[in-house]
């Protein structure tokens, strides 16, 4: 079995594309990267896929490793950021946002002692509040008050098509707002709530 390379030699050998160096990198750091990813995405299968993707990217971008001073910290940042990107794409979908808006319209009180729930509720309210006036009015009547597009059209004197269009625009703008305020804690809470809601549907 080949002897493990010292740290400096490992980085140089990686940059040169040597297979032994890549194998050593994989053996030394797989469990570290996998552990970070798993702690965030909560799925062994997805954690394995994401970890493999990270090592593939490391190989393709191996020239960048030459100047890395602390490889473990460098890999931690990559694993964390890749996991956050995955959560963002998975959680911040139109369907999930509609599920969450419905969740917070439930008259039942939010879980005791969970400030994060209140913060998320407020972010959703802020996202709705920033909508243009008529878009917001139509959206609230549709998704909060539960009116049909026909009822909204009659009440506001607009067409059914306009009502549907306003709701689509509202969801797009809410999604963009949430994407710009998607701190890790919020993403994890969103993922948890979506999973809970899907269990009951």
Boundaries of CATH 1.10.1740.10 in the chain? 7-89
Q: Residues 6 or more apart from 193 whose CB is under 8 A from it?
A: 99, 100, 103, 120
**Rounded Cα distance, 142 and 160, in Å:** 12
Task: Tell me yes or no: is domain 94-199 CATH 1.10.10.10.
Answer: yes
Distance CA(13)–CA(9), nearest Å, equals 6
Q: What is the largest CA-CA distance in the chain?
A: 78
Segment (H or E) for 133: helix 133-139
Closest CA to 81 of 65, 59, 57: 57
- pTM listed for this prediction: 0.55
Query: Where in the sequence of the chain do the CATH 1.10.10.10 domains occur?
Result: 94-199
What is the DSSP-derived secondary structure letter of residue 100?
H
Q: What is the pLDDT of residue 191?
A: 63
Rounded to whole angstroms, the Cα distance separating 159 from 134 reads 13
Name the CATH architecture for the domain at 7-89.
Answer: Orthogonal Bundle (1.10)
Q: In angstroms, rounded to a whole number, what is the distance separating the alpha carbons of residues 53 and 51?
A: 5
The predicted structure's pLDDT at residue 138:
93
* pLDDT tens over the chain, length 201 residues: 456 777 777 778 887 878 888 888 888 889 999 988 888 777 788 889 999 999 988 888 888 877 778 888 888 889 888 887 887 777 767 666 666 666 556 554 544 445 556 777 788 888 889 999 999 999 989 887 889 999 999 999 999 999 999 988 988 888 788 777 666 656 665 665 555 545 444
pLDDT at 112: 47
- Per-residue DSSP letters for 47-61? HHHHHHHHHHHHHHT
Secondary structure letter of residue 63 according to DSSP: G
**Helices and strands (DSSP H and E) totals, the chain:** 10, 0
Cα separation values, 117 from 24, 140, 176, 189, Å: 43, 21, 20, 8
């Amino acid at each position: 079995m080949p002897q493990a390379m010292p740290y400096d030699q490992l980085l140089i050998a990686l940059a040169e594309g040597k297979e032994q160096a890549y194998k050593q990198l994989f053996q030394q750091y797989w469990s570290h990267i996998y552990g970070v990813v798993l702690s965030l995405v909560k799925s062994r299968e997805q954690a394995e896929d994401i970890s493999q993707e990270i090592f593939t990217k490391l190989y393709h971008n191996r020239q960048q490793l030459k100047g890395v001073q602390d490889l473990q910290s460098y890999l931690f940042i990559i694993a964390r950021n890749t996991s956050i990107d995955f959560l963002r794409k998975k959680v911040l979908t139109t369907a999930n946002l509609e599920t969450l808006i419905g969740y917070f319209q439930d008259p039942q009180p939010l879980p005791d002692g969970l400030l994060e729930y209140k913060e998320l509720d407020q972010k959703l309210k802020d996202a709705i509040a920033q909508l243009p006036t008529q878009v917001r009015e139509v959206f609230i009547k549709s998704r909060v008050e539960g009116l049909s597009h026909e009822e909204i059209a009659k009440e506001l004197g607009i067409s059914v098509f306009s009502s549907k269009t306003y709701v689509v625009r509202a969801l797009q703008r809410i999604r963009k707002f949430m994407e710009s305020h998607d701190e890790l804690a919020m993403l994890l809470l969103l993922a948890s709530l979506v999973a809970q809601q899907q269990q009951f549907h």
